[in-house]
Amino acid sequence: MTARFRDLLAAEWIKLWSLRSTYGSMALIAVSAVLFSVRAALADHHNWPGYSAERRAAFDPIHDAFPEEGWLFVMLAAGTVGALMIAGEYASGQIRTTLVAVPDRRAVAAAKVVVLAAVMLVVGAVAAVASFGVSQAILADRGAGASIGDPDALRAVVASALLLPMCALIGFGVGALVRHTAPAIVVTTTLLLLAPLAFDITNKWTASVHNALPVPAWERLVGNPYVLPNLHVATVPGSWAVFVVWPVVAALLAAVVVHRREP
Partner 1 sequence: MIELRDLTKRYGGVTAVDRLTLTVRPGHVTGFLGPNGAGKSTTLRLVLGLHRPTAGTALVDGQPFAGRRRGLRYAGALLDAGDVHGGRSARAHLAALARSNGIPRARVGEVLDQVGLADVARCRIGGFSLGMRQRLGIAAALLGDPPVLLFDEPFNGLDPHGVRWVRGLFRRLAAEGRTVLVSSHLMSEMEQTADHLVVIGRGELLVDESLAAFTARGRDNGATSLEEAFMDLTADRVDYPTGGRS
Per rule CB under 8 A, is residue 237 in the interface with partner 1? no
With respect to partner 1, which residue has the nearer C-beta, 99 or 193? 99
DSSP string, 16-82: HTT-HHHHHHHHHHHHHHHHHHHHHHHHHHHHGGG--HHHHHH--HHHHHS-HHHHHHHHHHHHHHH
Does residue 12 touch partner 1 according to CB under 8 A? yes
By the rule CB under 8 A, 104 interacts with partner 1: yes
- Nearest Cα neighbor of 65 from 36, 27, 31 is 36
Interface with partner 1 includes 114 (CB under 8 A)?
Answer: no
Q: Is 4 in the site for partner 1 (CB under 8 A)?
A: yes
Does the footprint of partner 1 cover residue 107 (CB under 8 A)?
A: yes
Residue 187 C-beta: closest distance to partner 1, Å: 21
The residue among 173, 183, 189, 179 whose CA lies nearest residue 88 is 179
- Assess 3 for contact with partner 1 (CB under 8 A): yes
Q: By CB under 8 A, which span of 17-25, 127-135, 140-148, 153-161 interacts with partner 1?
A: 17-25
CB of 27 to partner 1, least distance (A): 16
Per CB under 8 A, 24 contacts partner 1: no
Q: Measured from the CB of residue 114, what is the shortest distance to partner 1 in angstroms?
A: 14
How many CB atoms lie under 10 A from the CB of residue 100?
9
262 forms part of the interface with partner 1 (CB under 8 A): yes
Which range touches partner 1 (CB under 8 A), out of 33-41, 58-66, 93-101, 198-206? 93-101
Question: Which ranges of the chain does DSSP label H, i.e. alpha helix?
Answer: 3-16, 20-47, 53-58, 61-65, 68-92, 94-101, 105-140, 153-178, 181-189, 204-211, 214-222, 236-260
Closer CB to partner 1, residue 19 or residue 236?
Answer: 19
Q: Looking at 46, 56, 96, 204, which residue binds partner 1 (CB under 8 A)?
A: 96
d(CA 211, CA 83): 23
Q: What values do phi and psi take at 257, rounded to 5?
A: -70, -35
Q: What's the min distance (Å) between Cβ of 100 and partner 1?
A: 5
Please name the residues in contact with 139: beta carbons below 8 A apart, sequence gap of 6 or more: 41, 44, 45, 61, 64, 145, 146
Q: Is 28 in the site for partner 1 (CB under 8 A)?
A: no
**3-class DSSP state of 113:** helix
Taking CB under 8 A as the criterion, the residue among 47, 92, 147, 203 binding partner 1 is 92
Q: Is 257 in the site for partner 1 (CB under 8 A)?
A: no
| Site for partner 1, rule CB under 8 A | 3-4, 7-8, 10-12, 14-15, 18-21, 88-89, 92-104, 107, 262-263
